[in-house]
Amino acid sequence: MGHRAGVISSADRDAENSWPSSAHEARRFILNQLPGSAPVEGISAEADRYGRAEEPAVLVEPSLIEGSSFTAIRFDSDSQRTESAFAGFLDGTQQIRIVNQLDGIPIVWATVSAAIRVRVDKRLTTWPARRPSVAGRYYVPFRYLDSLTDEFRNDRRVVDTAKANESGKIPSRHPAALMESALQRIQRDRESLELDLAESWCRSESRPLYIDGSITGSAIASDSENVVGVIKTHRRLYADGDAFRVLVRLRAGERSSVFRVDRRKGFPVASWYVRVRETAGHDSLFGLLRIEAAETHDLSSRADEISRWIAAEGAPLALPDSRWDKMAYGIRDTEEFLRAIS
């Protein structure tokens, strides 16, 4: 038993040997690539620091697929405890550093990683079928740096952060705009690693997987009964109007009606809110999770069952993580694991 730490990168091993594996190496690498650039001794910025900070906080009318009104539904039974059926936990992390700057243009080095930890005899260990994915990449606005070599530009581990987005908009030279663009790319890369792992799970496992985050980005995951996405942050609340009052009054052991999430950029899934801890003395979003799962014909009973599993993951607490009210211990373990290897 114990931790299994075998890790391989997504890149070739040979190439990895010359590729930076730490921020310090990344800084030196750029000094060679971009003579005249200045090293930056910045602090590490983790995913949640930047997170989806730019995503607007909005209330959205829920598109109900269970019942006709958004109501609170008790899912647990005091007489019997339910054991969680989750066999694994998937999470990803990102470590971001501005390592150099040239004429005010930030050069970002980020390590994104993702892993699945499976539970065997109540202890968590790395999923043996797919080792964790770790990738270190530069995020550089090509158009604002003339002195970049072709070799560097063409390296698949260097990402251009000044490309036009879907709407044709190009980020300005403003460092904050360039930084925001880099963050979006980094986040996309991390989600890509996570969903890649999630799809591997769907193809090879028949047991449920707890994913920290949305599953709408993957057609396979959003359609699989073996994965459940758990969202802890609520910039976008599916509870406009009367539903909002119902949502903030949910008590521990209650869930909301199931609604459909079908965003333009993702695949449709069934979703509902679950309150896993009482809010007394806390804000209204304390202990509130939004669950995403594939739509099935027995939605109500499926939502109850998954909600009970989620509630069962409430012990042990994920303390000392500040998000302990919403975080499952398995996710904390996966984050700690990724922090140790990346």
Partner 1 sequence: MSEALGRVVATERKPNTPHEFHFWTSLDCPVGIGTIVRVDGAHPVEGQIPHIYGVVVEGFSYTDLQSPMHDVLSHDGRPSNATFAATDRAEIRLYTAAVLRQIPEEPLQPVPMGEVFLAEEADVATALRMDGYLKDGSNTGIPVGVYRAGATDSVIYLDADFLLGPEAAHLNISGMSGLATKTSAVEWLLASLFAHFPAGKGSVAAVCFNVKGPDLCFLDQPGKLEDRDREMYEKMGVKPGPFENVTYFAPYTAKGFGLNTLRSNEALLHNVKPLTWGLREVLQYAEVLLNKDDIDAKADALIDFITERVVDRRFEQDHYLTRDHTVQSFGDLENWFRDLLRGMEKANAESWRTHHIATIRKVRNRLSNISTRCAGLVTDTGDVSDLPFGSFEDRAVYVVDVATLEEDAQDLIFARIVSKLREHLERRDLGVKHLVVFVDELNKYAPGDGQETYVRKMLLDIAERGRYLGLVLFSAQQFRSQVHRRVVGNSGTALYGRMDGDELATPGYSVLSPATRTKLATLEKGQLMVRHPHFTQPIFVRFPRPAVMQGRDGAERYPQATDVTLEHALYRSLRTVDPAVSLAWVNDLVALYDEGELLAARNAALVAKPSNVRGFFESRLRKKIPAQPAFSGGLTPRESISARSLPDDDPYGP
Q: Which of 3, 24, 130, 260 is in the footprint of partner 1 by CB under 8 A? A: 3
Query: Closer to partner 1 at the Cβ: 93 or 222?
Result: 93
Q: Shortest gap between Cβ of 198 and partner 1 (angstroms)?
A: 20
Query: Closer to partner 1 at the Cβ: 83 or 150?
Result: 83
Q: Shortest gap between Cβ of 334 and partner 1 (angstroms)?
A: 11
Per-residue interface string for the shown chain with partner 1, residues 43-82, x marking contact by CB under 8 A: --------------------------------------x-
Q: Shortest gap between Cβ of 2 and partner 1 (angstroms)?
A: 4
Q: Shortest gap between Cβ of 85 and partner 1 (angstroms)?
A: 9
Query: Closer to partner 1 at the Cβ: 124 or 195?
Result: 124
Cα–Cα dist 338/114, whole Å: 7
Q: Shortest gap between Cβ of 327 and partner 1 (angstroms)?
A: 12
Q: Shortest gap between Cβ of 324 and partner 1 (angstroms)?
A: 8
Cα–Cα–Cα angle for 111, 331, 190, rounded to 5 degrees: 30
112-131 residues near partner 1, rule: CB under 8 A: 119, 122-124
Cα–Cα dist 341/338, whole Å: 5
Query: Closer to partner 1 at the Cβ: 60 or 317?
Result: 317
Cα–Cα dist 141/124, whole Å: 40
Q: Shortest gap between Cβ of 317 and partner 1 (angstroms)?
A: 4
293-332 residues near partner 1, rule: CB under 8 A: 312-313, 315-317, 319-320, 329-330, 332
Please give the size of the binding site for partner 1, defined by CB under 8 A.
Answer: 23
Q: Which of 37, 84, 101, 126 is in the footprint of partner 1 by CB under 8 A? A: 84
Contact set with partner 1 (CB under 8 A): 1-3, 81, 83-84, 86, 119, 122-124, 312-313, 315-317, 319-320, 329-330, 332-333, 336
